[in-house]
Amino acid sequence: MAVLGIPQNTIAVLQKYQFHFQKKLGQNFLIDTHVLDKIMDAASVTNEDFVLEIGPGIGTLTQYLCENAGEVLAVEIDSSLIPILNETLKDYENITLLNQDILKVDIGKIAAEKNLGRPIKVVANLPYYITTPVIMSLFESHVPIDSITVMVQKEVAERMQASPGTKDYGALSLAVQYYAKPQIVANVPPNCFMPRPKVGSTVIHLTRHETPPVLTDDEKLLFRVIRASFRQRRKTLANGLSNAAEIMLSREEIAGCINELGLPATVRGETLTLSQFSQLSDLIKNRMKSK
């Protein structure tokens, strides 16, 4: 039975093992069963699912996952948590613990071996310092993923879901929305964690697109263009792209590509949609090829 969402049970486990939180690993454990229920509802985990959990901590969310999923792989970087996890998860037979850095794990290979290459679900209370690298690594490596349901810093969730022209809109918004449909599930206050973080948190659900919402000739170039467009937000799009070493065109040539889209040369990157960035990327590629 999942019991670690109850604060006194979490405290008892931590005291038994004399566990000390490591700030550098962003360790904040959930102690609110209502939030855990919201995560599980959003993830829609069934006994047919293979679930990847990143940073299980002492196993609070892991217990919920084991009670609902067919199989769970929990990847934990902190070796001092492994003895605790071995105890808190001892009643479950559908759990595999991996004491590794998630950014060094070949998730695609594991999905192929454990789930016959079928899409997996990712559910996690992510350490905030690795949120973006982990999510983008999962998407960019083209691991077969059905959805990602994660707890992240509130401002990061808002950036993921942001629309063109808003203050939160940027490279992360476009990258996430290229691969998935983001949906904010719930905002979570600091008092739902132990220890309390200094920032607000949000549960966000990312449903993976079966195919990207836009077509592009060169996915890598598309993301180079997007990153360069937001590197200096106060600059015009033409100026920002002309300063990017990876885009070997003059400002005038880039302005010509922007004009082909029917946009003025003074336009800024934060106003362009994903579709417009895709078209611009293709125009830039063709212009570079013709040089």
- pLDDT of residue 208 exceeding 90, the answer is yes
- pLDDT of residue 27 exceeding 90, the answer is no
107-141 pLDDT tens trace: 889 888 888 889 999 999 988 888 999 999 999 88
Q: How confident is the model at residue 265 (pLDDT cuts 50, 70, 90)?
A: confident
Which tokens go with 214?
């836009």
Q: How confident is the model at residue 287 (pLDDT cuts 50, 70, 90)?
A: confident
49-100 pLDDT tens trace: 999 999 999 999 999 999 999 999 999 999 999 999 999 999 999 999 999 9
Percent residues over pLDDT 90 in the chain: 77
Distance from C-alpha of 249 to C-alpha of 119, rounded to nearest angstrom: 40
What pTM, to 2 d.p., does this model score? 0.93
**pLDDT at residue 259, rounded to an integer:** 95
Question: Which of residues 51 and 246 earns the better pLDDT score?
Answer: 51
User: Hey, what domains does the chain have and what are their CATH numbers?
Assistant: 7-208 (3.40.50.150), 219-289 (1.10.8.100)
Of 65, 191, 83, nearest to 120 by C-alpha is 65
Over the chain, what is the mean pLDDT? 93
**pLDDT at residue 260, rounded to an integer:** 95
**pLDDT at residue 20, rounded to an integer:** 83
Distance from C-alpha of 174 to C-alpha of 225, rounded to nearest angstrom: 11
Bridge pairing between strands 193-194 and 29-30: antiparallel
Q: How confident is the model at residue 291 (pLDDT cuts 50, 70, 90)?
A: low
Bridge pairing between strands 120-125 and 71-75: unpaired
> In the chain, what is the straight-line distance between the N-terminal and C-terminal CA atoms, in Å?
65
What per-residue string of b and e applies to 229-252 under the rule 16 or more CB within 10 Å gives b? bbeeeebbbbbbbbebeebebeee
